[in-house]
Amino acid sequence: MPAVAVSSQLAQSIYFISIIGLSVLLARPVYLVYSASQERSAQVVASGLQAVIDSMTPGTTVVTSLEGYPGVQLSVSLSGTTVAASFGSATATAQVKWELPHANLITGATYSFTLNGGDVAVAQARDG
C-alpha cells in the first residue's frame, strides 16, 4: 500500500475520532443551554401576561395573541391569581392581582381580557 494512502486513511481516522470526541464533549453544555432557554422563554411569557393583566383597570379590555411556532410546545393556563406558562419541559408561574378564570390558552389564537370589578373575563377574540 502506498504511503500516501496510509497517510490519508490515518488523517481521516483522526478527523472522525476528533469529531466524535468533540460531539461527546459538547453534548452536555448544548443541552444545558437549550434547557435554560426553555426556562427563560416560559418566564418571559408568564411575566409578560402578568404585566398585561396587572396593568388593567376596571372596565378595560386588552386584546392579545399567543403566537406559536413549528416545533415549539408552548402552553399557558390561567387559574385564580396564577398565570402558568410551559415551554417544552420548563414551566414558570407568575401571580397577578386580579382573579382569573380557569382557562387554557391555545397558541395561534387571539384573546380578549376584560376586567369587570376584580375578575378578569377571558374570551377567544374573533378575527376581523
User: Measuring CA to CA, how many Å separate 89 from each of 17, 39, 72, 95?
Assistant: 33, 8, 11, 20
The pLDDT assigned to 127 comes to 61
Backbone angles phi, psi at 41, to 5 degrees: -65, -40
Label residue 4 by pLDDT band (50, 70, 90): low
8 pLDDT band, cuts 50/70/90, is confident
71-116: per-residue pLDDT in tens?
A: 778 889 999 999 999 988 889 999 999 999 999 998 888 899 999 8
- Residue 11 buriedness (CB in 10 A; 0-12 / 13-18 / 19+): exposed
For residue 72, the model assigns a pLDDT of 75
DSSP 104: E
What does the pLDDT read at residue 3? 63
Nearest to 78 by CA among 29, 44, 28, 113: 113
Cell 406558562 appears where? 85
pLDDT value at residue 1: 59
User: Which tens digit of pLDDT belongs to each residue from 15-71?
Assistant: 888 888 888 888 888 888 888 888 888 899 999 999 999 998 888 899 988 887 777
CB 104 within 8 A of CB 75: yes
